[in-house]
Amino acid sequence: MRSHNGDASPPAEPGPQPAQRQPQPVRPQPQPPRSICDRLDRALGVIAGRMVSAVIAELPPAQVVPELGHGELSGLAFAGVELFARCLREDRLPTPAELALLKPSVALSAPDEVASEAMLMAHHIGARITLEEVARLAGPGEEDDVIAVAVFLQRFLPMLIPGVGAVAATNTGHAAQRELLRELVGALLAGAPAEVLADRAGVVLGAAHVVAVLRARQPGAPDRTGRYARRLHEAFGTCFGPAVPVAVDDDGRGATALLPVDDDDSAAVIDRIPALLAAAAEALDGALVDVAVAAADRRARLPEAHEQATELLRLARALERAPGLFQLDDLLVEYQLTRPSVALPAIEHLLDGLEDKPDLQRTLRTYLALDLRRQEAATALHIHPNTLDYRLRRIAELTGADPTTARGLHLLSAGLTARAARRDP
């Protein structure tokens, strides 16, 4: 720069320069410990078993799902720890698709009354067991590897928790809807006003319905977790739509449903019952299932139809019919024979003479079941045909009704039906 007289001015002295900040060394991220990954892969089954035992031992009994058994719970635990081991080895977090594969198992293991806190606790127990096993598997000098696994576990676990919370919230909502539908069924079968309940449940009430009473033949423990209730609702929803009024029995082994009828075509509804039987059997782990149905052409007749369907189901079981669908036409004579009347006690007493003679009772039932075919009846009873003839004569002497005559057959058949119906199946 020049001054006003043209002389060059001396350069300005440089001021103090700011201190240069030295770059900090970047700490390397812990790498997947390959040797521990290999040992972890070999111990997946052991870890899953310990997880199940710890969850059952540490959570209150009401928050565990006993119906699942160790097998299914171990499958859920194994899937989770296997995903963790795979992600650890590949040094990545699970993808949404991988997490989605765990959702059906998570939903299955989430009882409706279990708070989300309990479900989260189960996952934290699983994380603790995993880390304990990793520490046990580690050898001398692998302390840093254990720390690396622990750091990765803290990144992995939060990926599972949102799904658990969502499942718990969904299950709570579904449980509330099922309870509404149960109250709606109760009101309709009691002949009480049900419009408000129907609106709350999102059900459009029609006039005509088919009442379906479903029941598994094998008894079961109380469905404390709501597992079978969920499954049965899903079975009805699959076959008849999600807004069908269904009330599941307390033990989860049966249900009563009011199936809406369109255009007075109850036959079209009943045609879909075989699909319901298959879906319900699957929902109840392969149990044998019966469904009895009765139609009501208006809401006022729903209680009557329910009583008929319930009695048909009871009668079919008392008569030892094969599992399946039962309508009034299937048990028309038997149903009428067992209606209360002054003649019913006399019909029941026809067989009093056979009370202490089980061989004669079995002979009569077999003879009638095989449509009076003498040779086949003798073979089924493992006796000679002449012995069968002798037993038939004894039945005639003791009851006063000859099974070789049309009238005697009618009377004896009615007596067997009336006695069977009197017993609880």
For the chain, domain boundaries: 34-172, 206-332, 344-422
Which CATH number describes the domain made up of 206-332? 3.30.70.270
Region 329-343 average pLDDT: 85
* 289-296: strand order across its sheet: 246-248, 254-260, 209-216, 289-296, 325-326
Query: How would residue 201 be classed by pLDDT, with cut points 50, 70 and 90?
Result: confident
pLDDT value of position 179: 87
CA distances from 335 to 121, 348, 409, 412 (A): 54, 14, 18, 16
Contacts 24+ apart (CB under 8 A), 185-189: 185/245, 185/246, 185/247, 185/256, 185/257, 185/258, 186/247, 188/245, 188/258, 188/299, 188/302, 189/256, 189/302, 189/303, 189/306
Q: What is the pLDDT of residues 97-138, one digit of tens each?
A: 888 777 544 444 444 444 456 667 878 888 999 999 999 988
Residue found by looking up tokens 């739509």 in the block: 241
Query: How would residue 10 be classed by pLDDT, with cut points 50, 70 and 90?
Result: low
Type and span of the H or E element at 258: strand 254-260
pTM flag (> 0.85): no
Class of 34-172 per CATH? mainly alpha
Asked which of 14-18, 269-273, 289-293, 344-348 is least confident by mean pLDDT, the reply is 14-18
How many other CB atoms are there within 10 angstroms of residue 140's CB atom?
Answer: 5
Query: How would residue 162 be classed by pLDDT, with cut points 50, 70 and 90?
Result: low
The letter for the amino acid at 381 is L
43 compared with 72, residue with greater pLDDT: 43
- Please tell me the number of Cα atoms within 13 Å of 203 on its side-chain side: 30
In 3D space, the residue among 270, 273, 258 whose CA is nearest the CA of residue 206 turns out to be 258
Question: DSSP alpha helices (H): ranges in 91-115?
Answer: 96-108
Region 300-314 average pLDDT: 95
Query: How would residue 173 be classed by pLDDT, with cut points 50, 70 and 90?
Result: low
Asked which of 70-79, 89-98, 394-403 is least confident by mean pLDDT, the reply is 70-79
Fold of 344-422: Arc Repressor Mutant, subunit A (1.10.10)
pLDDT at residue 76 greater than cutoff 90: no
Contacts 24+ apart (CB under 8 A), 69-75: 72/105, 72/108, 72/109, 73/109, 74/48, 74/49, 75/105
